Amino acid sequence: MIDLRSDTVTQPSKDMLKAMCSAPLGDDVLGDDPSVLALEEKIAGMLGTETALFVPSGTMANQIAIWLQTTKGAAIAVEQDAHIYQYEASAPALLSGVRMKPITGSRGLMSEQALLEAFPSDDPHFSPIEMLCLEDTANRGGGTVYPLEKLQKLQQIARDRHCSLHLDGARFFNAHVASGISPNERASGFDTISICFSKGLGAPVGSALCMPSSMRRDAIRIRKMLGGGMRQSGILAAAANFALTHHIQKLEKDHFHARQLALALVNMGFSVQSPQSNMIYFDHPQAKKMVELANKEGVLFLAVGPKTIRLVTHLDVKEADIKSAISVIQKLDSALS
């Protein structure tokens, strides 16, 4: 089975499992799990923040960040295809009492002009925008990487209007590897950054919220209210720590595989978004049928629209898998033509 549905499907390697089984453990709710503390210190140091908090998921990390930095009745600015807007079940409204203001963009990258125009006048009829949330890489945009200059321009627009800044860095290290820009520099300027360990990095579970030390106590309290307090979670933290040590540079191989797939699809005559990281989006008039037939051939991917297919390369996808997937898609396309 060749699974290209998402980079969340990766399985722990033998070495990662060894690290998990040998991890020193405590009780993280009591604040004394050494493996969790080591992970939090490591990821905070890599991004240049004062502290970090280990949480079960990226969605929880994002929602804690929003809760910490907004007031009820306000708004947060998000790109129209952002994960927070599309895939987090309206959690900002329910949990933080804020509405989401979708901002237009291109391939998931927010438009500076659209953000400028989104800020309302100082009128009690309108919700003030208190927070800007960006996503890097941009999932629905095709794994698009923000140019650093664009990030900085958007940050400045928000800062000039006294907004806090959050980065949904679910695939932050894909952006780091694709751009060649250090994690510290890509994270600079944000108040909070969420990092997901269970996507391209290949850990089974877990995310971190990186932030100033002044936010940590309240972040732990919110994590507790959301049911995110875990006990011997050092088992999971050890997997994340292993991924940070051993898997970041392997992301370039995933990106290379994505480019291989994209080139083959272009040569078959498909309209393909040129991949910047590990995602390939291409058009097919019978997307759902193509996915259904490919699954029967042992190649899994997703139809994300009536005519749009997404494939995602990851740690468990090898060179031979890419060749096999290309062969299956070519065969099925001929059958469906």
Full pLDDT tens readout for the chain, 337 residues: 999 999 999 999 999 999 999 999 999 999 999 999 999 999 999 999 999 999 999 999 999 999 999 999 999 999 999 999 999 999 999 999 999 999 999 999 999 999 999 999 999 999 999 999 999 999 999 999 999 999 999 999 999 999 999 999 999 999 999 999 999 999 999 999 999 999 999 999 999 999 999 999 999 999 999 999 999 999 999 999 999 999 999 999 999 999 999 999 999 999 999 999 999 999 999 999 999 999 999 999 999 999 999 999 999 999 999 999 999 999 998 888 7
What is the reported pLDDT for 224?
98
Cα–Cα distance for residue pair 292/273, rounded to 1 Å: 22
Q: What are the start and end residues of each CATH 3.40.640.10 domain in the chain?
A: 11-246
What is the reported pLDDT for 336?
87
Which residues, other chains included, contact 247 with Cβ-Cβ below 8 Å and sequence gap of 6+? 200, 201, 202, 315
β pairing state of 75-79 and 129-135: parallel
Question: Is residue 63 within 8 Å of residue 95, measured between CB atoms?
Answer: yes
What is the reported pLDDT for 227?
97
Domain 251-336, architecture per CATH: Alpha-Beta Complex (3.90)
Q: Give the H or E element holding residue 11.
A: none
Tokens of 163: 């907004």
CATH of 11-246, one of 3.30.420.10, 1.10.10.10, 3.40.640.10, 2.40.30.10: 3.40.640.10
What is the reported pLDDT for 233?
98
Q: Which of 5, 26, 4 is nearest to 257 (CA)?
A: 4
Tokens of 6: 């998402």
Let me know if 309 is exposed, middle or buried by CB neighbors in 10 A (0-12, 13-18, 19+).
Answer: buried
Tokens of 92: 């900002």
Q: What are the start and end residues of each CATH 3.90.1150.10 domain in the chain?
A: 251-336
What is the reported pLDDT for 256?
98
Question: Is residue 79 within 8 Å of residue 109, measured between CB atoms?
Answer: yes
Tokens of 45: 């140091």
Cα–Cα distance for residue pair 108/134, rounded to 1 Å: 9
